[in-house]
């Protein structure tokens, strides 16, 4: 049985992951509406990943006989002033998610809940990758985004991303 504080924080994280999925779906639609289908593809896959993160955490709570408490997910505006703004928003959001995962990990460490720490290890590593990917997109947009050819090439590169479900076994 999980400590109540840990169960509550994981439930909060599940809802943050669903929010992330919704946020990235909105960003994907923003880019696709503007014919930047590669960017749209990138964030659609990002949305799928976040959904899978929520499902992994749900399964973890279920495997520990804890109740899953889903909340409403509020849509965020998908109206951005320029093509860079959604990527910057995504980077800021990933930093928030990282802080949340780290807080859960710290609580697990305090409780000496090694099983939960082991479960969270994958998410800690994943968040490092998520932040790096978003930072790279922002920085590359800053380098190439003002040149139509550069933007075209960056969009083409982002279109090559394919969805790969996490291989984490709970």
Q: Do the beta carbons of residue 127 and residue 94 sit within 8 Å? A: yes
Give residue-wise pLDDT tens across range 120-164. Answer: 999 999 999 999 999 999 999 999 999 999 999 999 999 999 988
Render the chain in DSSP notation, one character per residue. Answer: ---HHHHHHHHHHHHHHHHHHHHHHHHHHHHHHTT-HHHHHHHHHHHHHHHHHHHHHHHHHHHTT--------PPPP---SSSHHHHHHHHHHHHHHHHHHHHHHHHHHHTT-HHHHHHHHHHHHHHHHHHHHHHHHHHHHHHHTTSHHHHHHHHHHHTT----------
User: Which pLDDT does position 168 carry in this prediction?
Assistant: 58
Residue 50 has pLDDT above 60, yes or no: yes
Q: What pTM value is reported for the model?
A: 0.93
Residue 21 has pLDDT above 80, yes or no: yes
Residue 53 has pLDDT above 60, yes or no: yes
Give residue-wise pLDDT tens across range 80-93. Answer: 999 999 999 999 99
Domains of the chain and any CATH numbers: 4-69+80-158 (1.20.1260.10)
Give residue-wise pLDDT tens across range 106-116. Answer: 999 999 999 99
Average pLDDT over residues 14-32: 98
């Amino acid at each position: 049985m999980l400590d109540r504080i840990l169960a509550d924080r994981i439930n909060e994280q599940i809802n943050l992951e669903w929010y992330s999925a919704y946020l990235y779906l909105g960003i994907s639609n923003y880019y696709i509406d503007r014919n930047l289908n590669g960017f749209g593809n990138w964030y659609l896959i990002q949305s799928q990943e976040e959904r899978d993160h929520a499902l992994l955490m749900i399964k973890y709570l279920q495997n520990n006989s804890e109740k899953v408490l889903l909340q409403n997910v509020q849509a965020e505006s998908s109206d951005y002033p320029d093509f860079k703004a959604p990527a910057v928003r995504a980077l800021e959001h990933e930093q928030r998610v990282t802080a949340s995962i780290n807080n859960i990990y710290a609580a697990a460490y305090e409780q000496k809940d090694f099983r939960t720490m082991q479960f969270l290890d994958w998410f800690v590593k994943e968040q490092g990758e998520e932040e790096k990917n978003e930072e790279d997109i922002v920085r590359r947009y800053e380098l190439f985004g003002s040149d139509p050819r550069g933007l075209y090439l960056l969009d083409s590169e982002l279109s090559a991303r394919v969805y790969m479900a996490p291989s984490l076994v709970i």
